[in-house]
A and B are shown apart, each in its own frame.
Chain A
Protein backbone atom coordinates (compact mmCIF):
# COMPACT_ATOMS: atom_id res chain seq x y z
CA UNK A 1 0.00 0.00 0.00
CA UNK A 2 1.25 3.47 -0.89
CA UNK A 3 0.11 6.55 1.03
CA UNK A 4 -0.22 9.90 -0.74
CA UNK A 5 -0.95 13.10 1.18
CA UNK A 6 -2.22 16.36 -0.30
CA UNK A 7 -0.60 19.12 1.74
CA UNK A 8 -2.95 21.73 0.34
CA UNK A 9 -6.04 19.81 1.38
CA UNK A 10 -4.66 19.00 4.83
CA UNK A 11 -6.57 20.96 7.47
CA UNK A 12 -4.25 20.03 10.32
CA UNK A 13 -6.80 18.16 12.40
CA UNK A 14 -4.30 15.50 13.39
CA UNK A 15 -6.86 12.70 13.30
CA UNK A 16 -4.39 10.64 11.24
CA UNK A 17 -1.71 11.03 13.92
CA UNK A 18 -4.15 9.88 16.58
CA UNK A 19 -4.97 6.77 14.58
CA UNK A 20 -1.57 5.91 13.06
CA UNK A 21 1.25 7.72 14.90
CA UNK A 22 3.92 5.61 13.19
CA UNK A 23 2.80 6.72 9.76
CA UNK A 24 1.79 10.36 10.27
CA UNK A 25 3.09 13.35 12.19
CA UNK A 26 2.33 17.09 12.04
CA UNK A 27 4.42 20.20 11.46
CA UNK A 28 4.03 23.02 13.97
CA UNK A 29 1.40 24.57 11.72
CA UNK A 30 -0.48 21.29 11.75
CA UNK A 31 0.22 20.21 8.19
CA UNK A 32 0.74 16.50 7.87
CA UNK A 33 4.17 14.88 7.69
CA UNK A 34 4.22 11.46 6.06
CA UNK A 35 6.65 9.29 8.03
CA UNK A 36 6.16 6.09 6.09
CA UNK A 37 5.00 6.05 2.50
CA UNK A 38 4.62 2.27 2.48
CA UNK A 39 3.32 1.40 5.94
CA UNK A 40 2.97 -2.23 6.92
CA UNK A 41 -0.12 -1.47 9.00
CA UNK A 42 -3.49 -0.67 7.53
CA UNK A 43 -4.13 3.06 7.56
CA UNK A 44 -7.49 2.94 5.80
CA UNK A 45 -9.28 4.33 8.80
CA UNK A 46 -6.93 7.32 8.94
CA UNK A 47 -7.54 7.96 5.25
CA UNK A 48 -11.28 7.58 5.71
CA UNK A 49 -11.67 9.93 8.70
CA UNK A 50 -9.32 12.65 7.39
CA UNK A 51 -11.49 15.79 7.64
CA UNK A 52 -9.69 17.34 4.69
CA UNK A 53 -9.92 14.27 2.45
CA UNK A 54 -6.16 14.75 2.08
CA UNK A 55 -5.00 11.14 2.39
CA UNK A 56 -5.15 8.79 -0.57
CA UNK A 57 -4.18 5.14 -0.64
CA UNK A 58 -2.96 3.24 -3.64
CA UNK A 59 -3.15 -0.53 -3.52
CA UNK A 60 0.00 -1.96 -5.02
CA UNK A 61 -0.33 -5.13 -7.01
Chain B
Protein backbone atom coordinates (compact mmCIF):
# COMPACT_ATOMS: atom_id res chain seq x y z
CA UNK B 1 0.00 0.00 0.00
CA UNK B 2 1.37 3.40 -0.92
CA UNK B 3 1.06 6.36 1.37
CA UNK B 4 -1.42 9.08 0.46
CA UNK B 5 0.19 12.04 -1.29
CA UNK B 6 -1.69 14.45 0.97
CA UNK B 7 -3.43 14.41 4.35
CA UNK B 8 -5.93 16.98 5.61
CA UNK B 9 -6.67 17.08 9.34
CA UNK B 10 -9.92 18.85 10.21
CA UNK B 11 -9.63 20.06 13.80
CA UNK B 12 -6.60 21.76 15.34
CA UNK B 13 -6.94 20.65 18.93
CA UNK B 14 -4.95 17.93 20.66
CA UNK B 15 -6.29 15.04 18.54
CA UNK B 16 -5.63 16.76 15.22
CA UNK B 17 -2.17 17.82 16.33
CA UNK B 18 -1.41 14.26 17.46
CA UNK B 19 -2.25 12.97 13.97
CA UNK B 20 0.05 15.52 12.35
CA UNK B 21 2.92 14.87 14.76
CA UNK B 22 2.56 11.12 14.56
CA UNK B 23 2.55 11.17 10.76
CA UNK B 24 5.81 13.09 10.70
CA UNK B 25 7.32 10.95 13.46
CA UNK B 26 6.45 7.85 11.42
CA UNK B 27 8.31 9.34 8.47
CA UNK B 28 5.44 10.67 6.39
CA UNK B 29 6.83 13.25 3.95
CA UNK B 30 3.69 14.14 1.98
CA UNK B 31 1.63 17.31 2.07
CA UNK B 32 -0.04 17.95 5.40
CA UNK B 33 -2.75 20.50 6.20
CA UNK B 34 -4.22 21.31 9.62
CA UNK B 35 -7.55 23.15 9.60
CA UNK B 36 -8.92 24.68 12.82
CA UNK B 37 -12.23 26.38 13.59
CA UNK B 38 -10.78 28.52 16.35
CA UNK B 39 -8.29 31.30 15.77
CA UNK B 40 -5.87 29.90 18.37
CA UNK B 41 -3.00 27.57 17.57
CA UNK B 42 -3.40 24.14 19.20
CA UNK B 43 -3.96 24.46 22.94
CA UNK B 44 -4.72 22.17 25.84
CA UNK B 45 -8.26 21.99 27.24
CA UNK B 46 -7.89 20.26 30.65
CA UNK B 47 -6.31 23.36 32.26
CA UNK B 48 -9.20 25.59 31.15
CA UNK B 49 -11.51 24.63 34.03
CA UNK B 50 -8.64 24.55 36.50
CA UNK B 51 -5.44 26.61 36.13
CA UNK B 52 -6.75 29.09 33.58
CA UNK B 53 -10.09 29.61 35.32
CA UNK B 54 -8.30 30.02 38.64
CA UNK B 55 -5.91 32.57 37.14
CA UNK B 56 -2.85 30.48 38.00
CA UNK B 57 -1.93 30.29 34.33
CA UNK B 58 -1.98 32.97 31.70
CA UNK B 59 -4.11 31.71 28.78
CA UNK B 60 -1.01 31.46 26.60
CA UNK B 61 0.45 28.72 28.80
CA UNK B 62 -2.12 26.29 27.41
CA UNK B 63 -0.41 26.33 24.02
CA UNK B 64 0.55 22.77 23.16
CA UNK B 65 3.56 23.58 20.98
CA UNK B 66 5.74 26.61 20.44
CA UNK B 67 5.86 28.16 16.97
CA UNK B 68 9.24 26.56 16.29
CA UNK B 69 7.91 23.06 17.04
CA UNK B 70 4.87 23.63 14.80
CA UNK B 71 7.10 24.94 12.01
CA UNK B 72 9.14 21.73 12.12
CA UNK B 73 6.02 19.79 11.11
CA UNK B 74 6.15 21.55 7.74
CA UNK B 75 2.41 21.70 7.37
CA UNK B 76 -0.06 24.24 6.09
CA UNK B 77 -2.04 25.53 9.07
CA UNK B 78 -5.34 27.30 8.55
CA UNK B 79 -6.98 28.68 11.69
CA UNK B 80 -10.25 30.46 12.39
CA UNK B 81 -12.02 28.83 9.45
CA UNK B 82 -14.53 26.11 10.42
CA UNK B 83 -15.21 23.23 8.04
CA UNK B 84 -18.79 23.37 6.75
CA UNK B 85 -18.99 20.51 4.24
CA UNK B 86 -17.32 17.19 3.48
CA UNK B 87 -17.38 15.57 0.05
CA UNK B 88 -16.49 11.96 0.84
CA UNK B 89 -16.06 10.66 -2.70
CA UNK B 90 -14.23 13.79 -3.86
CA UNK B 91 -12.17 13.84 -0.63
CA UNK B 92 -12.75 17.56 -0.22
CA UNK B 93 -13.65 19.88 2.64
CA UNK B 94 -15.29 23.26 2.19
CA UNK B 95 -14.75 25.90 4.87
CA UNK B 96 -16.84 28.79 6.15
CA UNK B 97 -14.70 31.28 4.24
CA UNK B 98 -15.21 29.34 0.99
CA UNK B 99 -11.92 27.46 0.77
CA UNK B 100 -12.05 24.04 -0.88
CA UNK B 101 -9.34 21.74 0.45
CA UNK B 102 -8.68 18.35 -1.08
CA UNK B 103 -6.49 15.50 0.13
CA UNK B 104 -6.09 11.78 -0.42
CA UNK B 105 -6.75 11.14 3.25
CA UNK B 106 -8.95 13.26 5.51
CA UNK B 107 -9.05 13.03 9.31
CA UNK B 108 -12.09 14.33 11.18
CA UNK B 109 -11.09 15.70 14.59
CA UNK B 110 -13.71 18.38 15.22
CA UNK B 111 -14.33 17.45 18.85
CA UNK B 112 -17.39 18.45 20.83
CA UNK B 113 -19.89 21.20 21.19
CA UNK B 114 -21.23 21.97 24.64
CA UNK B 115 -24.90 21.28 25.19
CA UNK B 116 -26.98 24.25 26.20
CA UNK B 117 -30.17 24.45 28.21
CA UNK B 118 -33.33 24.57 26.12
CA UNK B 119 -33.93 28.20 25.28
CA UNK B 120 -30.48 29.24 26.49
CA UNK B 121 -30.03 32.41 24.49
CA UNK B 122 -26.83 34.44 24.62
CA UNK B 123 -27.36 36.23 27.89
CA UNK B 124 -24.77 38.09 29.95
CA UNK B 125 -23.79 35.97 32.91
CA UNK B 126 -24.52 32.59 31.33
CA UNK B 127 -21.46 30.58 30.31
CA UNK B 128 -20.41 27.32 28.77
CA UNK B 129 -16.81 26.15 29.11
CA UNK B 130 -15.25 24.48 26.12
CA UNK B 131 -12.80 26.87 24.47
CA UNK B 132 -9.97 29.09 25.65
CA UNK B 133 -12.14 32.13 24.89
CA UNK B 134 -14.92 30.60 27.04
CA UNK B 135 -12.50 30.19 29.95
CA UNK B 136 -11.16 33.73 29.71
CA UNK B 137 -14.68 35.18 29.53
CA UNK B 138 -15.90 33.11 32.47
CA UNK B 139 -12.89 34.04 34.61
CA UNK B 140 -13.47 37.75 33.96
CA UNK B 141 -17.04 37.43 35.20
CA UNK B 142 -16.16 35.25 38.20
CA UNK B 143 -13.77 37.96 39.39
CA UNK B 144 -16.70 40.36 39.65
CA UNK B 145 -19.24 37.83 40.97
CA UNK B 146 -20.19 36.74 44.45
CA UNK B 147 -22.53 33.83 43.81
CA UNK B 148 -22.33 31.21 41.10
CA UNK B 149 -24.65 28.40 40.11
CA UNK B 150 -23.08 25.51 38.21
CA UNK B 151 -25.59 23.40 36.30
CA UNK B 152 -24.07 19.97 35.78
CA UNK B 153 -22.82 17.14 37.99
CA UNK B 154 -20.16 15.66 35.68
CA UNK B 155 -16.42 16.19 35.43
CA UNK B 156 -16.55 19.70 33.99
CA UNK B 157 -19.27 20.94 36.32
CA UNK B 158 -17.53 19.65 39.44
CA UNK B 159 -14.18 21.09 38.32
CA UNK B 160 -15.73 24.49 37.63
CA UNK B 161 -17.47 24.41 41.00
CA UNK B 162 -14.23 23.50 42.78
CA UNK B 163 -12.32 26.29 41.06
CA UNK B 164 -14.99 28.92 41.72
CA UNK B 165 -15.24 27.84 45.35
CA UNK B 166 -11.46 28.04 45.77
CA UNK B 167 -11.71 31.62 44.41
CA UNK B 168 -13.90 32.37 47.41
CA UNK B 169 -17.25 32.52 45.67
CA UNK B 170 -20.51 31.14 47.02
CA UNK B 171 -21.16 28.15 44.77
CA UNK B 172 -24.26 26.04 44.26
CA UNK B 173 -24.07 22.97 42.03
CA UNK B 174 -27.28 21.60 40.54
CA UNK B 175 -27.52 18.22 38.85
CA UNK B 176 -30.02 15.50 38.02
CA UNK B 177 -28.02 12.56 39.38
CA UNK B 178 -28.21 11.17 42.91
CA UNK B 179 -24.57 12.09 43.48
CA UNK B 180 -21.64 13.74 41.69
CA UNK B 181 -20.15 11.84 38.75
CA UNK B 182 -22.58 9.00 39.49
CA UNK B 183 -22.64 7.75 35.90
CA UNK B 184 -18.85 7.91 35.56
CA UNK B 185 -17.72 6.58 38.95
CA UNK B 186 -20.76 4.98 40.55
CA UNK B 187 -22.61 5.94 43.73
CA UNK B 188 -19.89 4.96 46.22
CA UNK B 189 -16.97 7.01 44.89
CA UNK B 190 -19.32 9.71 43.63
CA UNK B 191 -20.54 10.00 47.19
CA UNK B 192 -17.02 10.64 48.45
CA UNK B 193 -16.65 13.42 45.92
CA UNK B 194 -19.98 14.94 46.96
CA UNK B 195 -18.86 14.84 50.60
CA UNK B 196 -15.63 16.64 49.64
CA UNK B 197 -17.52 19.42 47.88
CA UNK B 198 -19.95 19.76 50.77
CA UNK B 199 -17.14 19.91 53.32
CA UNK B 200 -15.47 22.70 51.37
CA UNK B 201 -18.65 24.73 51.23
CA UNK B 202 -20.32 24.00 47.89
CA UNK B 203 -24.11 23.81 48.18
CA UNK B 204 -25.18 20.66 46.35
CA UNK B 205 -28.66 20.38 44.86
CA UNK B 206 -28.60 16.81 43.63
CA UNK B 207 -31.45 14.99 41.98
CA UNK B 208 -32.77 18.38 40.95
CA UNK B 209 -34.13 19.40 37.57
CA UNK B 210 -33.52 22.86 36.16
CA UNK B 211 -36.64 24.44 34.72
CA UNK B 212 -35.29 27.73 33.39
CA UNK B 213 -32.74 30.47 33.68
CA UNK B 214 -34.20 33.64 35.11
CA UNK B 215 -33.04 37.23 34.74
CA UNK B 216 -33.79 40.60 33.21
CA UNK B 217 -32.79 42.69 30.20
CA UNK B 218 -29.37 43.23 31.71
CA UNK B 219 -28.23 39.75 32.70
CA UNK B 220 -29.05 36.39 34.22
CA UNK B 221 -30.14 36.52 37.87
CA UNK B 222 -30.59 32.90 38.79
CA UNK B 223 -31.74 29.38 38.02
CA UNK B 224 -35.30 28.16 38.60
CA UNK B 225 -35.68 24.55 39.64
CA UNK B 226 -38.65 22.33 38.89
CA UNK B 227 -40.99 23.12 41.75
CA UNK B 228 -40.37 26.84 41.45
CA UNK B 229 -37.45 27.54 43.77
CA UNK B 230 -35.03 30.11 42.34
CA UNK B 231 -31.31 29.85 43.13
CA UNK B 232 -29.91 33.37 42.82
CA UNK B 233 -26.74 33.77 40.77
CA UNK B 234 -24.52 36.49 39.30
CA UNK B 235 -23.00 33.90 37.00
CA UNK B 236 -24.40 30.59 35.74
CA UNK B 237 -22.10 27.91 34.32
CA UNK B 238 -23.89 25.40 32.11
CA UNK B 239 -21.92 22.13 32.08
CA UNK B 240 -24.54 19.59 31.04
CA UNK B 241 -22.36 17.62 28.69
CA UNK B 242 -21.44 17.85 25.07
CA UNK B 243 -22.32 16.36 21.74
CA UNK B 244 -19.98 15.42 18.93
CA UNK B 245 -19.42 18.29 16.50
CA UNK B 246 -20.89 16.53 13.47
CA UNK B 247 -23.54 18.99 12.30
CA UNK B 248 -21.34 19.94 9.36
CA UNK B 249 -21.32 16.29 8.24
CA UNK B 250 -25.10 15.85 8.07
CA UNK B 251 -25.18 15.60 4.26
CA UNK B 252 -21.81 13.87 3.87
CA UNK B 253 -23.25 10.37 3.64
CA UNK B 254 -21.06 9.23 6.54
CA UNK B 255 -22.77 7.18 9.20
CA UNK B 256 -23.42 9.40 12.22
CA UNK B 257 -24.64 8.01 15.52
CA UNK B 258 -23.46 9.89 18.56
CA UNK B 259 -20.25 10.62 16.70
CA UNK B 260 -18.69 9.62 13.40
CA UNK B 261 -19.14 5.85 13.21
CA UNK B 262 -15.87 4.10 12.35
CA UNK B 263 -14.52 0.58 12.03
CA UNK B 264 -11.88 -0.84 14.36
CA UNK B 265 -9.21 1.09 12.42
CA UNK B 266 -11.00 4.40 13.15
CA UNK B 267 -11.93 4.60 9.47
CA UNK B 268 -15.30 6.11 8.59
CA UNK B 269 -15.02 5.54 4.83
CA UNK B 270 -12.27 4.86 2.31
CA UNK B 271 -9.65 7.54 2.99
CA UNK B 272 -11.69 9.17 5.80
CA UNK B 273 -10.77 8.71 9.47
CA UNK B 274 -11.99 10.14 12.77
CA UNK B 275 -10.07 10.93 15.95
CA UNK B 276 -10.81 12.00 19.50
CA UNK B 277 -14.09 13.12 21.08
CA UNK B 278 -15.92 13.01 17.76
CA UNK B 279 -15.02 9.41 16.84
CA UNK B 280 -17.12 6.34 17.64
CA UNK B 281 -15.10 3.32 16.71
CA UNK B 282 -15.29 -0.42 17.22
CA UNK B 283 -13.02 -1.56 20.08
CA UNK B 284 -12.08 -5.11 19.05
CA UNK B 285 -10.99 -6.32 22.48
CA UNK B 286 -14.17 -5.11 24.17
CA UNK B 287 -16.28 -6.07 21.19
CA UNK B 288 -18.26 -2.87 21.32
CA UNK B 289 -18.50 0.56 19.77
CA UNK B 290 -16.97 3.24 21.94
CA UNK B 291 -16.59 7.01 21.99
CA UNK B 292 -14.33 8.56 24.62
CA UNK B 293 -14.24 12.18 25.67
CA UNK B 294 -10.82 12.60 27.16
CA UNK B 295 -7.46 14.00 26.35
CA UNK B 296 -5.40 10.82 26.52
CA UNK B 297 -7.66 9.14 24.02
CA UNK B 298 -7.32 11.99 21.56
CA UNK B 299 -3.54 11.62 21.54
CA UNK B 300 -3.43 7.82 21.43
CA UNK B 301 -6.12 7.62 18.78
CA UNK B 302 -4.30 10.27 16.77
CA UNK B 303 -1.19 8.10 16.75
CA UNK B 304 -3.25 5.02 15.81
CA UNK B 305 -4.93 6.81 12.91
CA UNK B 306 -1.60 8.14 11.65
CA UNK B 307 -0.27 4.57 11.62
CA UNK B 308 -3.34 3.32 9.77
CA UNK B 309 -3.12 6.11 7.20
CA UNK B 310 0.41 4.84 6.56
CA UNK B 311 -0.88 1.32 5.95
CA UNK B 312 -0.31 -0.36 9.32
CA UNK B 313 -3.88 -1.71 9.44
CA UNK B 314 -3.93 -1.92 13.24
CA UNK B 315 -7.05 -2.05 15.42
CA UNK B 316 -7.22 0.67 18.07
CA UNK B 317 -7.70 -1.03 21.46
CA UNK B 318 -6.71 1.36 24.25
CA UNK B 319 -7.06 1.09 28.01
CA UNK B 320 -8.77 4.46 28.56
CA UNK B 321 -7.42 6.95 31.07
CA UNK B 322 -8.86 10.13 32.48
CA UNK B 323 -8.22 12.28 35.49
CA UNK B 324 -9.73 15.21 37.33
CA UNK B 325 -8.16 17.62 39.81
CA UNK B 326 -10.52 19.16 42.35
CA UNK B 327 -9.24 21.16 45.33
CA UNK B 328 -6.26 19.10 46.51
CA UNK B 329 -7.66 15.82 45.25
CA UNK B 330 -6.43 14.08 42.12
CA UNK B 331 -8.71 11.35 40.82
CA UNK B 332 -7.37 9.06 38.10
CA UNK B 333 -9.18 6.29 36.29
CA UNK B 334 -7.62 3.63 34.08
CA UNK B 335 -10.04 1.41 32.20
CA UNK B 336 -13.76 1.48 32.87
CA UNK B 337 -15.49 2.48 36.08
CA UNK B 338 -19.18 3.00 35.55
CA UNK B 339 -22.33 3.24 37.58
CA UNK B 340 -23.20 -0.46 37.83
CA UNK B 341 -19.76 -1.98 38.40
CA UNK B 342 -18.64 -3.63 41.62
CA UNK B 343 -16.20 -1.51 43.61
CA UNK B 344 -13.53 -2.63 46.08
CA UNK B 345 -11.07 -0.38 47.87
CA UNK B 346 -7.75 -2.25 47.75
CA UNK B 347 -5.31 0.32 49.13
CA UNK B 348 -5.58 3.23 51.55
CA UNK B 349 -8.98 4.40 52.76
CA UNK B 350 -11.52 7.05 51.79
CA UNK B 351 -11.48 8.30 55.39
CA UNK B 352 -7.76 9.01 55.10
CA UNK B 353 -8.35 10.89 51.86
CA UNK B 354 -6.10 8.53 49.94
CA UNK B 355 -7.15 5.29 48.32
CA UNK B 356 -7.21 3.08 45.26
CA UNK B 357 -10.26 1.11 44.20
CA UNK B 358 -10.83 -1.55 41.59
CA UNK B 359 -13.98 -1.75 39.49
CA UNK B 360 -15.29 -5.02 38.16
CA UNK B 361 -18.07 -6.42 36.11
CA UNK B 362 -18.87 -9.85 34.67
CA UNK B 363 -16.36 -11.40 37.07
CA UNK B 364 -13.35 -9.41 35.90
CA UNK B 365 -11.48 -6.25 36.87
CA UNK B 366 -12.42 -3.54 34.38
CA UNK B 367 -11.00 -0.40 35.94
CA UNK B 368 -8.90 1.17 38.68
CA UNK B 369 -9.51 4.49 40.36
CA UNK B 370 -6.95 6.36 42.40
CA UNK B 371 -7.82 9.13 44.85
CA UNK B 372 -4.57 10.91 45.67
CA UNK B 373 -2.80 7.61 45.16
CA UNK B 374 -0.93 7.94 41.93
CA UNK B 375 1.80 5.32 41.94
CA UNK B 376 -0.31 2.54 43.38
CA UNK B 377 -3.01 3.29 40.84
CA UNK B 378 -0.53 3.01 38.01
CA UNK B 379 0.66 -0.35 39.35
CA UNK B 380 -2.92 -1.63 39.70
CA UNK B 381 -3.59 -0.77 36.06
CA UNK B 382 -2.02 -4.11 35.18
CA UNK B 383 -5.11 -5.85 36.61
CA UNK B 384 -7.20 -3.91 34.11
CA UNK B 385 -4.92 -4.93 31.25
CA UNK B 386 -5.05 -8.56 32.31
CA UNK B 387 -8.72 -8.60 33.31
CA UNK B 388 -7.89 -10.16 36.67
CA UNK B 389 -10.59 -12.43 38.06
CA UNK B 390 -12.78 -10.48 40.47
CA UNK B 391 -12.64 -13.27 43.06
CA UNK B 392 -8.92 -12.53 43.50
CA UNK B 393 -9.50 -8.87 44.34
CA UNK B 394 -10.01 -9.50 48.07
CA UNK B 395 -6.53 -10.98 48.33
CA UNK B 396 -5.03 -7.82 46.84
CA UNK B 397 -6.08 -5.80 49.88
CA UNK B 398 -3.32 -7.20 52.06
CA UNK B 399 -0.52 -7.15 49.53
Whether A30 contacts B300 in the complex (CB less than 8 A), given A12-B374, A14-B375, A17-B378, comes out as no
Q: How far is the CA of A39 from the CA of B22 in the complex (A)?
A: 20
Output the nearest chain B residue to A50 by Cβ-Cβ distance: B299
Q: How far is the CA of A15 from the CA of B295 in the complex (A)?
A: 12
- In the complex, how many angstroms separate the beta carbon of A14 from the nearest chain B beta carbon? 4
- In the complex, how many angstroms separate the beta carbon of B116 from the nearest chain A beta carbon? 28
Q: How far is the CA of A12 from the CA of B46 in the complex (A)?
A: 13
B374 contacts A48, C-beta separation under 8 Å: no
Output the nearest chain A residue to B328 by Cβ-Cβ distance: A29
A11 contacts B321, C-beta separation under 8 Å: no
Select which of B18, B332, B374 is within 8 A of A28 by beta carbon.
Answer: B374
B115 at the interface (CB under 8 A from A): no
A26 contacts B295, C-beta separation under 8 Å: no
Provide the main secondary structure of the chain A interface: loop
- In the complex, how many angstroms separate the beta carbon of B284 from the nearest chain A beta carbon? 20
A29 contacts B303, C-beta separation under 8 Å: no
Whether A48 contacts B46 in the complex (CB less than 8 A), given A13-B296, A18-B378, A26-B374, comes out as no
- In the complex, how many angstroms separate the beta carbon of A48 from the nearest chain B beta carbon? 6
- In the complex, how many angstroms separate the beta carbon of A2 from the nearest chain B beta carbon? 14
A11 contacts B325, C-beta separation under 8 Å: yes
A44 contacts B25, C-beta separation under 8 Å: yes
Range class of the B interface residue count: 20 to 34
Q: Mark A24-56, 1 if CB is under 8 A from B, else 0.
A: 001011100000000000001100110111000
Q: How far is the CA of A4 from the CA of B374 in the complex (A)?
A: 21
Q: How far is the CA of A45 from the CA of B44 in the complex (A)?
A: 18
Select which of A18, A29, A51 is within 8 A of B46 by beta carbon.
Answer: A51
Enumerate chain A residues within 8 angstroms of B372, measured Cβ to Cβ. 29
B21 at the interface (CB under 8 A from A): yes
Select which of A12, A26, A29, A49 is within 8 A of B296 by beta carbon.
Answer: A49
B330 at the interface (CB under 8 A from A): yes
Range class of the A interface residue count: 10 to 19
Enumerate chain B residues within 8 angstroms of A17, measured Cβ to Cβ. 378
Select which of B25, B299, B374 is within 8 A of A14 by beta carbon.
Answer: B374
- In the complex, how many angstroms separate the beta carbon of B203 from the nearest chain A beta carbon? 28
Output the nearest chain A residue to B378 by Cβ-Cβ distance: A14
B323 at the interface (CB under 8 A from A): yes
Q: How far is the CA of A13 from the CA of B375 in the complex (A)?
A: 9
A29 contacts B374, C-beta separation under 8 Å: yes
Enumerate chain B residues within 8 angstroms of A15, measured Cβ to Cβ. 296, 321
Output the nearest chain A residue to B296 by Cβ-Cβ distance: A51
Residues of B within 8 A of A (CB): 18, 21-22, 25, 44, 46, 64, 295-296, 299-300, 303, 321, 323, 325, 330, 332, 372, 374-375, 377-378, 381
Shortest Cβ-Cβ A-B pairs, 8 listed: A30-B374, A14-B378, A12-B374, A49-B299, A51-B296, A51-B295, A53-B64, A53-B44
Q: List 26 A-B contacts (CB under 8 A).
A: A12-B323, A12-B332, A13-B321, A13-B323, A14-B374, A14-B377, A17-B378, A18-B381, A26-B375, A26-B378, A28-B374, A28-B375, A29-B330, A30-B330, A30-B374, A45-B303, A48-B18, A48-B21, A48-B22, A48-B25, A48-B303, A49-B296, A49-B300, A51-B295, A52-B46, A53-B44
